[in-house]
């Protein structure tokens, strides 16, 4: 569970940095899509998503 929160914090920080740096914007969108897919897979498998 600690790894999950670490990833969430890193994604949020990179998302905020994406507003300041244009080249991080596309990377952030890709990472956010991956994070959403992981949460959906966890829901489908019957695990708690968070």
Rounded to two decimals, what is the model's pTM?
A: 0.48
**What per-residue confidence (pLDDT) applies to 25?**
64
For the chain, the domain total comes to: 1
Q: Is 10 within the bounds of a domain?
A: no
**20-43 burial string, b = 16+ CB within 10 Å, else e?**
eeeebeeebeebeeeeeeeeeeee
Instruction: Classify residue 24: in a domain, yes or no.
Output: yes
For residue 9, tell me if it sits in a domain: no
Residue 27 resides in a domain: yes
Contact 32, 15 (CB under 8 A): yes
DSSP of 1-50: -HHHHHHHHHHHHHHHHHHH-HHHHHHHHHHHHHHHHHHHHHHHTTS---
7 in a structural domain: no
Q: Is residue 22 part of a domain?
A: yes
pLDDT averaged over consecutive 10-residue blocks of the chain (50 residues)?
Answer: 78 72 68 82 73
| Domain span holding position 39 | 17-43
């Amino acid at each position: 569970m600690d790894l999950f929160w670490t990833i969430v914090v890193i994604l949020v920080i990179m998302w905020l940095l994406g507003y300041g740096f244009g080249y991080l914007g596309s990377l952030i969108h890709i990472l956010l899509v991956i994070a959403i897919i992981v949460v959906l897979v966890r829901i489908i498998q019957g695990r708690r998503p968070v």
